[in-house]
Structure 1
Amino acid sequence: MAIACVSMSAMGETPMPGGWSMSMTWSRMCGQTWPRAAASFIGMWIVMMVAMMLPSLAPMLWRYHETAGRLGHSRAGRLTACVGLGYFMVWAALGAAVFPPGAALAGLAMQWPAFARSVPVAIGAAVLIAGMLQFSAWRARHLACCRDTSHCVVEQGRGRSSAAADVAHAWRHGVRRGLHCACCCAGSTAVLLAAGMMDLRVMAAVTAAITAERLAPNGGRVARMIGVVVVAIGGVMLAHAFVRGAIAIAPR
C-alpha cells in the first residue's frame, strides 16, 4: 500500500498559468477512454483512502470484532470484514462522484488560461472554508458519531441467528460509519482535493489530523485546533494567490 501511494504521488504534473501544477490523474492518458480513466482514478482513490482512514478506523473494527466474539458470533472475522467493506464502499462512491467534476474543471483549466490563473485563489478559498468547517456544530455531531464505539454490535445480538441477516447488519453498520466519516471529513477531503491529492506531504498531514481528532481524548478540542491551523494556511494561500495575480497583471 505504501508503494502504491508513492507511485501515485510520483505521477506527472502539468505546470499551469498562475504558478500551480495540475495532477494528471484528472486527465486521460494517450489512447485511454474516459470510463477507463475513471476506473483508474477510483482505484487509486480507494488505495489512498484505505491508507489514510485505516489508522483511525482500525480501533473501531477491533472493538466490533471483540464485541461480536463476546456475543457468541462464530463469524466475527467475516462480519468485521463486511463492516470494513461497507465503510470503504462509501469512499469508493465518493471517488466516483468527484471524478467527473474534477475532470471537467481540469479540462477547463487546460483550455482557458484565464480560468487556470484563477485556480490558486479557488484553492486558497477552499482550504480556508475547510478550516472554518472544523468549528461547525454539524461537523461536531458527525465527529461524535465517528468517535462513538459503544453501539458496535448491540442490535446484532438481538436474536439475529441468520448468517445473511448478520452480514446485512454488518454491511449497514459499515455504510453508516462510512457516511458519518465522509461527512466529518468533508473539509479534509476538500483540502486533499484542492491542495494536492497525490502529494504525500498533504496526505500525511490530513491522515495525522483525522487520526488525532478521532482517537485523542478530547477530539473536539483537537478538531478546533486543527481548524485554526487550516484557516491560517488557507488565509496565507489566498493572500499569496491575490498578490501573485496582482503582480501578473501589473503593467510592465
Structure 2
Amino acid sequence: MLCLSARAQADRGAPDIPSGVSAVDAGRMFLAVCTLLLIVSTTATVAICLAMADMGEVPMAGGWSISTAWTPLCGGSWPAAAGAFLGMWIAMMTAMMLPSLAPVLWQLRESAVAAGAARPGLFASLAGLAYLLVWSGLGLAVFIGGALLLEAGLRWPLLARAVPFIAGLVVIAAGLFQVSRWKLAMLGHCRNARARGVGVMAATGQGLRLGLACCASCAGLTALLLIGGVMDLRGMAVVALAIAAERLASAGARIARSVGAVMLGAGLVQLAQAFWQL
C-alpha cells in the first residue's frame, strides 16, 4: 500500500525537519494508520452490503430491479435515507480508494516536510479528509440521482423498460472515456501530488484538487459500478482492483486502456441484450 520514495529511503533514521520524527518511524505510523482504516472501512462495507442485501430490491418494468438503498425505510425520512446511503458510500470509497490514495498522501507529507510544515502528518490527514469530502459530495449526487430514477421508473413504466438500453449506452460511453486522453491526464494528477504551501488552507485545497481529479478519473469505473449494482461486493472488488492497478502499476495507462476495451465489449453485449428484450 505504502511506497516510500527514494528520498525517504535514503533518509532512513534521519529526523524530519522540523517535526523531529525519523522518516522510518513516520512511515511505520503512516502505514499502521492506513492499514487500520482499510480494515475498518472494508469490514463496515461488507456488513452494510450484507444487511442491505437482506432488505431486497424493488422490481421494475423491463426485468431489472433497484436496491432499497435509494428509498426511505418504512416510517423513515428522506434525510435518514440519504444519511444511511452516505455512510455506506463513505465506507465503500475509503476501502476502494485507500490502497491507491495512501502513496499520494505520503508524497504530500514528504513535500510538506520539504516546505517546512511543522506537522506534516496533520497536513496529509487534512488533505485526506478534504479528498473524502469531494467523494461524499459525489455520493450525495448519486443518491439523489438514484432516488429520482426509482421514482421515475415507478411512475413511467415505459421509461423503466428503456433503462437496460440506456445502461448499455452508458457502459459504452464509460469505456470510451476510459481510453480517452482526458482520462489519462486525470490519472496522472491522481498518481502524483506535491504540497503547495503549508497550513490548513493549503492542505485542504490540495485534498480538494486531488479529490476532484480522482472523481473525474474514476468517472467511467464509477458509472460501471453503479450500473452493476452499488451494493454488489464482487463489483466493488473488481472496480477497486482496476483503480489500484491503473494508479500503482508502472504501465497504468496501458491498464486503463485495457479496462476501457473490456468495458466497451461489455456495453455492446448489454446493448444487444436490451435490444433482444424490447
Given that 1:18 and 1:120 are in contact with CA atoms closer than 8 Å, whether structure 2 keeps it comes out as yes
Alignment equivalent of 1:200, drawn from 204, 214, 233: 233
Q: Does 1:167 align with 2:200?
A: yes
Given that 1:123 and 1:195 are in contact with CA atoms closer than 8 Å, whether structure 2 keeps it comes out as no
Q: Which ranges in structure 2 are unaligned for 5 or more consecutive residues?
A: 1-40
Query: What residue is the counterpart of 1:3 in the other structure?
Result: 43
Deviations 1:38-60, CA, capped at 9 Å, x for gaps: 12212211111111111110111
Q: RMSD of aligned C-alpha atoms?
A: 1.6
Query: Map of 1:33-72 to 2, 5 A cutoff?
Result: 33-72=77-116
Secondary structure of the structure 2 residue equivalent to 1:15: strand
Query: What residue is the counterpart of 2:160 in the other structure?
Result: 116
Distance 1:241 1:9 in 2: 27
Query: What residue is the counterpart of 2:179 in the other structure?
Result: 135
Secondary structure of the structure 2 residue equivalent to 1:226: helix
Query: What residue is the counterpart of 2:252 in the other structure?
Result: 219
Given the two structures, how large is their TM-score scaled by the length of structure 1? Answer: 0.87
Q: Which ranges in structure 1 are unaligned for 5 or more consecutive residues?
A: 161-165, 246-252
Number of residue pairs matched by the alignment: 234
Q: Does 1:91 align with 2:135?
A: yes
Given that 2:225 and 2:235 are in contact with CA atoms closer than 8 Å, whether structure 1 keeps it comes out as yes
Alignment equivalent of 2:219, drawn from 186, 194, 197: 186
Query: Could you say which structure has the greater relative contact order, defined with CA pairs below 8 angstroms and 6 or more residues apart?
Result: 1
Alignment equivalent of 1:148, drawn from 192, 206, 214: 192
Q: CA deviation at 1:71?
A: 4.6
Distance 1:80 1:2 in 2: 21
Relative to structure 2, which stretch is displaced further, 167-176 or 18-27? 18-27
Q: CA deviation at 1:70?
A: 4.7
Given the two structures, how large is their TM-score scaled by the length of structure 2? Answer: 0.79
Distance 1:219 1:123 in 2: 27
Query: What residue is the counterpart of 2:209 in the other structure?
Result: 176
Distance 2:189 2:111 in 1: 18
Query: What residue is the counterpart of 2:120 in the other structure?
Result: 76
Query: What residue is the counterpart of 2:27 in the other structure?
Result: none
Deviations 1:59-111, CA, capped at 9 Å, x for gaps: 11122223333554331211111010010100111112222222011112223
Q: CA deviation at 1:188?
A: 1.2
Deviations 1:185-228, CA, capped at 9 Å, x for gaps: 11111111122111011111111111111111122111111100
- Identity value in percent: 48
Distance 1:74 1:148 in 2: 22
Secondary structure of the structure 2 residue equivalent to 1:21: strand
Secondary structure of the structure 2 residue equivalent to 1:30: coil
Query: What residue is the counterpart of 1:228 in the other structure?
Result: 261
